[in-house]
Structure 1
């Protein structure tokens, strides 16, 4: 068995590969944020080389990296997640080093959790509480958290997470342009850094650009400082491309940041810090689990069946193969239009 670890940084990714004794089995590699396909291709080449020698390859990420596993699994790679209790502490901006991720599996293969398209990045941790319902309810009452708009108004918000990610973001934008429908894109900082042309197109079309963290981490595993750094770095990446004024225009009044927590995860301390910094937390009330690739018809049917006035609809334009989402979108829009619904950006949603 050979073990690879993938670390994320402020500029991209680092890959280390070890043998069963914890010794290097391939030279370390670094990749800019842009060529995610290059990371996948690198690992696939190594997998073929190891297979020719009778060895298999296991790739390890950690819970602060939710942007790679979908694509890696879709390409046929075996991917596991190492959790904080089997890793050394993080230092600086980034995950633990790639070598430490691989070593976690070398030391104890049973200590890392095997992921699949069905489990998603958080497989095995799904039963953990997402956060404090009372703290979230207080934010709702204060107008600082939005899961849905005014239930009396036939208006819904289409939202897309985890991009920008070509070619899927472009295909989704093509559909939105065709129907003149506004939407909100919750962007991951690593992808915003990597794909400025897609980000520019989102802004030029008048869609809202909002913050979805830098590396799509499971937020309860972050320190308060790490959380704030994730948000600030993502804002910087967005503002570098579309400009501070345009970035502020994509936030809720007076430049306030709109932030969607990855996986919808939150803790009381996280909510307190977001409140102090003036953020608005955006969740959702309708989804089709399109990231599990259930099929175009299943996505369309689920969204049409579950949407109602004021719904905030969760879809994805990044994090893996999103062709089903792009293919389902015309049917979703036409179906909602036929039922008398209009569409709005999240920051323009009518509120009760």
Structure 2
């Protein structure tokens, strides 16, 4: 189909009163005012523009509403889940192997010994708990996005060597279309961390009930950072820890700790991370300022503490995440951070 600007112009007639119309290459821009509420307008325009291969964006500019038509930015083809399934199976094996390595500690007795299948099964408590946390996190995003009619992929689990970050680099979903507005963007972004924590917190609590207090062995040991909740739960379970002793965390507790770790990383207010989406929902075009401030704070922490870790995180965020974020379709509705409807 050959799409002319006139076809799009006729499609907006009962939604948008056009005062001025211009074409800038692939961008078509209309100035005027809406004839219906913004939420209803974008629903109608998305449905009408999609067959023509365009996506509508509503913006406020100089006291007027600007309707921009851009070449389709929504992925509309049927999703193939083969890649999702293969990655999930690989991640199951890598996290099972990672869990089996944790069970190799002399503090915890393996479920059995012998063939490789039996050895891998010793990693099941860790793998199941960690995958549950990651899966619930991503499906929190998924179902919230579907509720707001945003096109979104199923989760992609990312396997990793068992000795690297617990056998997985986490999981992601792809936003295949922009969010409708800043309110829905906030809800979609916040739903994942909140859902994941609903599993991570009980996992950490239950895992600590199965953990043991013991003498710190000589040589190198793996120490985990102590978030406030972990310190509180350890205090409730074991009381004051004597010098030379520490808590040997059960693999389920390690998986719960990993859930907090992943959530903390995702909440950095940069780019396409959950925190970056929340920052865009709250601060709009100023989200990049928040991102640069976060990056600068990490650099300053590295200088102040003389710790290379802060510089590593700053570098990873700068090169792998960045500071850009896809804008929502409507930038006319003021954000309401807590939505009850």
User: TM-score, normalized by length of structure 2?
Assistant: 0.24
Q: Which has the larger radius of gyration?
A: 2
Could you tell me the TM-score, scaled by structure 1's length?
0.23
Higher strand share: 1
Higher relative CO (Cα under 8 Å, sequence separation at least 6) belongs to: 1
